[in-house]
Chain A
Amino acid sequence: MSDIPVSEPAVDEAVSRSLQRARGVAPAVLAGIARSVAGDLRAVTPVAPAWLLAVRLLAACAAVAAAGAAWAGFDGIRGLAPAEGAALLATLAILAIVMARECVARWIPGSRVRLGSGALLAGSCGILGVLFALLFRDHHAEHFVTTGLGCLEQGVLHAIPAALLGAFILRDGFATRPATAALAGGALAGLTGIAFLELHCVNFEAPHQLIWHIAVMPVCAALGALIAWAVTRPASAHS
């Protein structure tokens, strides 16, 4: 940068000189806006605090995963050693807390975002990948595709109620970037699907866990972003 003989204040000066031509907003426009707002004014209750929304999201996701496993059986978690099971559940819980916070931040305009949606998704998949590689040492892969597709389907099916509950919890929010908000929401719903699979699935082969279980999260995130794109596109096209 130092090879360019123009200082930062010179850039500021050029910008402010250009802006001096900007006319202000017309008083009639402001008066019109104030009139239309005052004409439809009633008290509203502000949206719940971010931490409370995140707790509600976590509770919903935990309930969906636990209900699914209660119906299908907790065979997966029972097949692990207690320390392995604890490590698995603790990691899933930590990831869920981080993702729930970030998801809420994307649904409330002007919130502080700590992680990009892509980084959140990639980081979560990476952490789960490392954990699964450490926990599951059986590197055989029998009926890799058929059993894998079954798990992927089960994971996505359990992500759907989690996503619907999440949408209900965040109904008072407003996503100013719908696709990234839905991507984060889809990733959290996908994590719920993974949690169900870890509680239920007894296939402890490393390739199965690493590919098919983890795939639930990016698939759900992509579906979420796609749905948001499809929903917001016609709305802006026809209005």
Chain B
Amino acid sequence: MEQPADVPASTEALMCAYQSGDAAAATALIYRVSPSLYRLFVADAASRGHADDLLQETWLRIHRVRRSYRPGEPVLPWAYAIARHVRIDHYRKARRSTARERSLETMELAEPACESQGFEDLDALLAPLPAAQREVIEMLKFAGMSLEEVARATSCTVGSVKQKAHRAYRRLRSRVLELKLASPGGGPR
């Protein structure tokens, strides 16, 4: 499957064409939406090592439930909501398999999902954030979504997303300061 030439149609139009069975539109949509979905998986240490698999699983699920997209609605929050669901499933499975492996004790623990892959800075920065705040920051900052889109993707109210983002920023500011102070020659600027 070749990478499609630059398709000028909007993401929403591509999605509608995909629902109508247009293979070219489906391919164009995959190439357009996948990079930001991928960033979402890569941003989190727990899903980073499986980002390729999670992206494929997300598209399988998107394909299965593509009826649930309503024409006229934004595509990204819809796709993110499904990607988020895939990621949560992945966490649960990873947690269970780790627990099982621990209980057996005879088997070696599988490679932990938290591969750093050069993301030490990012992991150190986001370390103090609880999962819900971290998720909001990932969507706002890494995927470039708006508050409204994050609210739609996470099935929350906009007010709730604002509150989480506000709290996350407060912690992040403290964290940035800590990291600056800790770095050689660092200090608040």
Contacts and interface: CB of A to CB of B under 8 A. Distances in A.
Interface residues of B, number: 76
Given A6-B173, A12-B141, A38-B27, A31 B122 contact: no
Contacts of A106: 155
Nearest to A12: B141
Contacts, number: 193
Interface residues on A, range: 35 or more
Say what secondary structure dominates the interface of chain B. helix
Nearest to B71: A46
A46 B19 contact: yes
B42 interface: yes
A27 B142 CA distance: 20
A177 B39 contact: no
Contacts of B142: 15, 19
Contacts of A116: 156-157, 160
Nearest to A113: B155
Nearest to A110: B78
Interface of A: 1, 4-8, 10-12, 14-19, 21-27, 29-38, 40-47, 49-50, 105-106, 108-116, 172-174, 176-177, 180-181, 233, 236-237, 239
Given A110-B78, A112-B148, A172-B68, 12 more contacts: A4-B174, A6-B173, A7-B173, A14-B172, A31-B1, A44-B19, A46-B16, A109-B78, A180-B155, A181-B155, A233-B92, A236-B92
Interface of B: 1-3, 16, 19-21, 23, 26-27, 30-31, 34-35, 38-39, 42-43, 51-52, 55-56, 59-60, 63, 65-71, 73-82, 84-85, 89, 92-93, 96, 117-119, 121-122, 125, 137, 141-142, 148, 151-153, 155-157, 160, 169-170, 172-174, 176-177, 179-180, 188-189
